[in-house]
Structures are given as structure tokens and as C-alpha cells.
Amino acid sequence: MKPNLRMKVMLIPLGLVFLSTGLLMAMAILIQKHLWQDMLGEASLPQSQLFLDGLRNFLQHDAIEIACILFLIIASTFIATHFLINRLLANSLGKIVDNIRSIAHGNYNYSSPLDEAKELRAIVSEVQRLARKLEERDIRIKNEIAERIQTEKELRTAKEEWEKTFNAINDVVCIQNTEMKILRVNQAVTKLFNIDQKDVIGKYCYEIFRGGLGVCPGCPTLAAVQDLKTHRSVMHHEEQGKIFEVSVSPVVNEENKLEGIVHIAKDITEQKRIETRISHSHKMEAIGTLAGGIAHDFNNILSAILGYGELAKMRVPADNPAREDIKGVIQAGLRAKELVNQILAFSRKTDNSLIPVHIQSVVKEAMKLLRASIPTNIEFQLRFNAQYCNILADPSHVHQVIMNLGTNAYHAMQEKGGILSVSLKKTCLMNHVIPDLKAGLYIELEISDTGHGILPEIRDKIFDPYFTTKELGKGTGLGLSVVHGIVKSYGGAITVDSLVGKGSIFTIYFPMVDMQPDEQRGVDREEFYQTGTERIMFVEDETAILMYSKKTLEAFGYQVSSFTNGNAAWQEFSIHPDDFDLVITDMAMPNMTGMELSRKILKLRPALPIILYTGHSENITKEQAREYGVSDFLIKPVTPSELLQTIRNLLDKKTAKISLRGEWSDRQKATLPLQSPCLCGHGLRAQGK
């Protein structure tokens, strides 16, 4: 059995005891030896004296030897004890120290020495207990460190994502303190105002948005600071020329105290422009609907005025003074007719036939008229570079556009004079260069003046119908509205640029076409009053129009049967279909429309000429009416000369067809079987005419 540390350590004092005992015994023997020698030599001395003398002799002769021996024994014992204890404890304590060092380096797998002494077991147990605690604390610290690292990583990631999101917002975002000083802004601020973020920090918001002119009028930040609620406002930035929708929200703590302000400004300039265009379109649509609604009734009234005027003029002798008065009435009616046409053109309700037009010729002609009517204190500058450029339009509409814009320019320079410039050139537009225009070739017509200009606050209203800044009696407010309607109806666009006190520039873009214009023929305005004897059915729900038309046609020899509604006319025609040579019917009538009546009549008599006319109709055009078999389509108000000419042309065409049919029949009589004769008495009458 191997002795443990306690047994080994106990042997050391036992050895010392044995050595000391042996040393004492040796000393006693030596002392006794000397005493016996002295006693034998000095037997007469007392024993005590003998003992003292023997001890003295011992100290004189053997003490040094005994002391050296004793010193050697003690030194040997000390060295042996020290070596033995150091040797016996070195292994266990060394292992304990190694384990403690290992624990200090984070290795908590402690293994106790196999030969440890029981006395060291408490140390080992304490070391193990401390090791477990250190291990647990180390694990806890590592977990906390790992969690902290993960948290810091997540915070760093969240911060980066927040900064990316914050800077990705297109709206201007400012975080302010309670004193309205900017603490942080996103990159939209730097892009909008071309300023670094560091130069914004610490400034007041109005220093950025208003250039330091003080708090913005109606600032929502002040209201948010007072009641701690979110406030919104639409504000205009003077320097940028932009409109912002500003939203200000307070940041409060748990005690409902203000800690900061979040200021968001959204650029709604383009949105406002779109809203303005949409609003303008709605206004155009509304006035167009209104124009279409009143056009029919108004044209009926004009038809009666012009009809009765023409009828009165024909009956009054040429030398009668009343004839001039009647001409004035007719001229007023014609001006009213043009006014209705302008409204319908503005609202795109007209059905005009478009032809290729050499626009440079039309512009030159219009400028000659303007030059004749505008004073010489206004200088004309013309720059034409569109010699071979054509557009698809109505020449009268283009003429009207030039006259309206030229007249407006004259009014803007009327007091001080100036320069009226007109340029015409070909241009190529790319996509989105001009809103609502496709890419392609366009004719650019620019009309500019050096007048008083247009105020910014009314610039978006100038194309509104009946909007005018002119004095009473100098303008109706329809000029630019009509121009806008004409240009838009041709697929073009119009823009305006103006500076107060400098003048205005109107630029119009017309789409180019490759077609060449037909030779322009002068309009023969001579009034033709041709007579006839044919039988005409006239259907009109307006009594005034019906009566003057009946009187006019009968005055020129026609036999007229008048009806105020389609049902009565159809009932008469179905009974006597061969009693009429031509039918004239209004389009819009109650119970049965003119188109329905025309279909029924043509089904019964396919070759019968029919004239369909109306004050205004969105449901049918001239081309559609002719596809349905209608011979002609007229728009009210119709002058007597126009009506008589149309009637005569249709009846003469029919007569020519019957004549050709008769000649062909005569040639075929020798070879063809005998056919039934034509029962159309009106046809024979037309042929004989």
C-alpha cells in the first residue's frame, strides 16, 4: 500500500524525535563517561562536585563535537524535511496549479490528481467549485457578448436600412427639434436645393425653404407645436417655382411632451399641373356639352331669323330703305351663326371636312388682313420657313387661329406699340417633349408680342371659356378657347410663355401630312334663286322654320306639304308614296327622328332624294347619313339660297338619271321584251322639265 501525504509528513517529526533522543543519549553517555572517569580519579570529592566537574570537562573537550554533530543532524533533518515535503507536495500542488492555469485560460475540464492528499482535497474541491462557477459565468458572459454582438449587428443593419430608406424617399423629410432647427434631412433636400446635408443641419426650416425670409405664411409647424397634432398645408416655393404639400407631425414622449418635429414636404407641382389640365378638360367638356345642348335650339332660332330676313329682302324693292335694315338683321344672324360655330369648334362638336392645307399661304393671307386693321405703331416681323409643309385642317379654322392670336397681341401692345412676330417652321418632336403629343414632324407656328404680358396667377385660366381681362365690350373671352379647341381637334398642342412687362409667346404645333393641297377655288358667294315645280314634303317640329321654309319654297314654284312630326309625315307618305319628288326632314324630332323617317321612306322608295338637316347632332355625320341612303345633310341655320341650290341640284341629278335610263330603254326596245312603263309621274315631270 502506497503511503499518502499525511503518513509521509508524520515520519518527519518521528525521525526528528528519534535523532534527538539518540543525540541526548549519546550526550548522556559521554557525560557519564567523563563523570565515571573523574569519580575514579577523584573519589574523595562529593558527587555534585564531581558532576559539575565532569560536565565542565565535557563542555571543554566534547561540546564542540557534540554541537557539530547536533548541527549536522538538525541541518540534515531540515534539508531532508524540506526536500521530502517539497517532493511530496510538488506533484499534487503542481497539478493543481496547472489546472488553475488551465482554468484561467478557459479550459474548465478539471481532473484531480490520483495520489492527492486528503488535506488537499478541500483545495481541489474549492478549485473545482470555482471552476464550475467560472465556467458558468464565462458561458453567460460569452452568451451576453454574442447577443450584444448580434444586437449591434442588427442595430447596424437596421440603421443602414433606415438610412437607405430615409434617403430613398423622394419627398423632402426634415427632423427638427422643438425650436424648429433641423437635426437631420434626407438626400431629397440635397437634390432639390443643391446643398450638402451638413450645411442644412442646425438651420431653421424656413432658411432652406424661403431663403431666410422668416416663417412661411400659414406654417403648419407652428400649429403642430401648439396643439401637438399633425397639420398639413399646400405651400408655394418662390425660388424653386414649385408647389409642396407639407405635413408636420409632432414627436411626443410618454408624458405627452414635445421632443421633436417631423417635417415632410411632397413636390406636387406636376400633380397640380395635371389637375389643372384635367380641370381644364372638364371645363372644356362641360362647355362642349352645353354648346351641343343649346346649338340645336339656337340654330333653329337663327334659321327662322335668317329665313324670314332673306324672304323679306327678296320681297322688298332694291331702292327701299328697309332693305338695308333687313341686311343688318341678316348680318347679325350670320355673326350669331359664327359664334355658335366657334363654340362648337372649341368643344370639338363640329363636323368639318379636313383637307390638306398649305399653312404658309393661309398664314400670309391672315397677316395681310391683320396688317390692314392694326395701326402702324405696331411693327410686323414675319419669318416663314415652311414652303412645302402641309397640314390636315379646315383653312377657315387656321385663319381664325391667326386672327384671334394676332388680335390679342395687338390689344396687348395697343397703348405703347411694339413688335408682333410670326414665325413658321418645321420641327421634329420626340416623345414627351410636349405633353399629349406623339413623336413626329410638326409645323411650329409661333406668335409673339412685346406687350404687357400675362400674370402668373391667371396663366392657367386664359384658355377657359369666357375668361377675359379686357374691358367690357372689348372681348367675349372665347378667342383663346376657340383657338385651343381648334388646335386640339387637329391633334396639335398650344403652349404659352409670358413675362409681365416683356410680352407673350404662343407656340402652336400642327401635325404635318404628306398629302398635297388641292387647288383652291374661290367661293362663289352669288346667291342662286332657282325655281321649280316639284312636290316637296317638309317635316320640321319648329313652326317658325316650317312656315318660312314653306313660304320660301312656294314662292319659287315648289309644291310643299308641311308636317310638324315624323309620324304624321310617314302616315301621309305611306298612303301616297308617289305624290312627292323630294323629302326634307329635321333630324331631331319627338316620337320619330328624321333618320328613322328617312329609313322608312327609302325602304318604300329607295331612289327618292332626301335632305336631312339639323341644328346639331353627335349621333350622325354627313358621311354616315349618305351611307344610309340620305342624299344630302345640312347644318342649321340654312339660308334660302343654300336650301334652294341643294334642292335643285338633287332634283336635276335625278332628272339626268331618268333621262339616261330612258335612252337606254329606247335602244333595248328592239331586243328586249316589252316592260311595264314607269308609273312615277313625278319622274316624267322631272324629265320634261
Give the pLDDT band of residue 4 (cuts 50, 70, 90): low
Average pLDDT, the chain: 76
pLDDT number for residue 521: 39
Query: Residue written as cell 307618305?
Result: 573
Contact 443, 512 (CB under 8 A): yes
CB atoms within 10 A of CB 47: 10
Give the pLDDT band of residue 40 (cuts 50, 70, 90): low
CATH architecture of 535-684: 3-Layer(aba) Sandwich (3.40)
**What is the C-alpha to C-alpha distance for residues 331 and 630, in angstroms, rounded to an integer?**
31
CATH architecture of 169-267: 2-Layer Sandwich (3.30)
Q: Which residues on neighbouring strands pair with residue 496, listed in sequence order?
A: 506
Taking the alpha carbons at both ends of the chain, their separation in whole angstroms is 163
Which of the residue ranges 46-60, 70-84, 300-314 would you say has the lowest mean pLDDT?
A: 46-60
Phi, psi (deg, nearest 5) at residue 228 = 55, 40
**Interior CA angle at 273 toward 267 and 275, to 5°?**
105
Name 259's Cβ contacts closer than 8 Å, sequence gap at least 6. Answer: 178, 251, 252, 253
Per-residue pLDDT of 373-430, as tens digits, reads 788 889 999 998 877 788 888 777 888 888 888 888 888 888 888 999 999 998 888 7
Per-residue pLDDT of 614-634, as tens digits, reads 776 556 667 777 777 888 888
Name 669's Cβ contacts closer than 8 Å, sequence gap at least 6. Answer: none
pLDDT number for residue 679: 28
Contact 446, 439 (CB under 8 A): no
CA-closest candidate to residue 112, choices 133, 101, 130, 96: 96
Average pLDDT for 518-540: 66
Dihedral (CA of 211, 212, 216, 220) sign: positive
Average pLDDT for 539-561: 88
Q: Is 355-513's fold the same as 535-684's?
A: no
Q: Which of 190-204, 320-334, 489-503, 651-665 has the highest mean pLDDT?
A: 489-503
Name 77's Cβ contacts closer than 8 Å, sequence gap at least 6. Answer: 12, 15, 16, 19
Contact 85, 12 (CB under 8 A): yes
SS3 for 616-627 is CCCCCCHHHHHH
Cell of 120: 488537499
DSSP secondary structure letters along 3-32: --HHHHHHHHHHHHHHHHHHHHHHHHHHHH
Q: Is the peptide bond before 677 cis (omega within 30 degrees of 0)?
A: no
**What is the C-alpha to C-alpha distance for residues 410 and 404, in angstroms, rounded to an integer?**
10
Domain extent listing, the chain: 1-155, 169-267, 355-513, 535-684
pLDDT surpasses 50 at 241 = yes
pLDDT number for residue 187: 80
Query: Buried b vs exposed e over 56-81: b needs ≥16 C-beta within 10 Å?
Result: ebbeeebbeebeeebeeeeeebeeeb
pLDDT surpasses 50 at 671 = no
640-668 vs 269-315: helix crossing angle, rounded to 10: 80
pLDDT surpasses 80 at 256 = yes
Which of the residue ranges 396-405, 457-466, 471-480, 671-680 would you say has the lowest mean pLDDT?
A: 671-680
**What is the C-alpha to C-alpha distance for residues 264 and 532, in angstroms, rounded to an integer?**
80
Would you say domain 355-513 falls under CATH 3.20.20.70?
no
Query: Residue written as cell 442646425?
Result: 202
pLDDT number for residue 637: 80
359-373 vs 395-412: helix crossing angle, rounded to 10: 40
**What is the C-alpha to C-alpha distance for residues 620 and 627, in angstroms, rounded to an integer?**
11
pLDDT number for residue 117: 56
Q: Which residues on neighbouring strands pair with residue 135, listed in sequence order?
A: none
Query: Residue written as cell 410670326?
Result: 422
- Report which residue type is found at 415: E
